[in-house]
Amino acid sequence: MNGVTVVSHPLVQHKLTIMRKKETSTAGFRRLLREISLLLGYEVTRELELTTTEIETPLQTMQAPTLEGKKLVFASVLRAGNGLLEGLLDLVPAARVAHVGLYRDHDTLEAIEYFFKAPSDLADRLVIVVDPMLATANSAISAVEKLKQRGATNLRFLCLLAAPEGIERFTKAHPDVPIFTASIDERLNEKGYIVPGLGDAGDRMYGTK
Ligand code: PRP
Ligand code: URA
């Protein structure tokens, strides 16, 4: 599918399998999500632009590569986005963070916004939106819309699992935003859950239900 990168690294796929298992504990699920976010983060940042800066090693000066431009922004879609965010911040500690609070209405599956806080200069930064699940895509579409309203023009969307239906809707709504995911699952079920999936990501991360 155009604009979609599936991260097929064996460690990602192995960890994802353990996360999917219904018997995996809350602590195990959270730990694996953090671990997997490091590997997904490696892929989603692969194309970051570099410049050079002069440094002195103990032996001589050199022109050494360094990231170009303003610090990037991770935009976490609450709650479950925070499970990816923690590992991503280990990888890019200087990144700025946006929080987009959304929940899915259980009946309509519409995304309801309850919180938004982002750096003011989004226009100058790469914004990587993170949420483990892309199901109907209502949440992702709405999060990206809001970030664009606040000035973001250069965005990527990073998730763990995506439904084909969600990818299609998201790509139609935001053709300029590439998607990175560990898996494209079979489909959505009648309740809007990804199958085979892993269940409700927020509940599995935090032990709620
Ligand atoms: C989950 C998930 C996404 C959304 C995906 O969040 O983390 O944000 O559902 O579904 P969609 O593509 O159909 O919109 P949820 O609304 O359950 O909130 P939570 O993270 O607070 O549990
Ligand atoms: N949100 C989840 O957490 N899981 C799904 O399968 C769909 C939406």
Q: Record the tokens describing residue 141, joined without a space.
A: 């579409």
* pLDDT for the residue numbered 109: 95
Strand segments, DSSP code E, in the chain are 4-6, 50-56, 61-67, 73-78, 96-104, 111-117, 126-130, 133-134, 154-158, 161-162, 179-181, 183-184, 187-188, 194-195
Q: Which CATH class is domain 4-47+73-198?
A: alpha beta
* pLDDT for the residue numbered 209: 84
Q: What is the mean pLDDT of the chain?
A: 96
- Atom 6 in ligand 1: which residue has the minimum CA distance? 103
Stretch 100-119: mean pLDDT: 95
Residues marked active site are found at: 104, 108, 200, 203
Stretch 113-138: mean pLDDT: 96
Distance separating alpha carbons of residues 99 and 76, to the nearest angstrom: 5
Domain layout of the chain by residue ranges: 4-47+73-198
Three-state SS for 148?
Answer: helix
Residue 1 has pLDDT above 50, yes or no: no
- Confidence band for 70, pLDDT divided at 50, 70 and 90: confident
- Confidence band for 2, pLDDT divided at 50, 70 and 90: low
Residue closest to 81 by CA, chosen among 209, 169, 205: 205
**Is 193's C-beta closer than 6 angstroms to any atom of ligand 2?**
yes
**Is 166's C-beta closer than 6 angstroms to any atom of ligand 1?**
yes
- Atom 3 in ligand 2: which residue has the minimum CA distance? 200
Stretch 107-111: mean pLDDT: 95
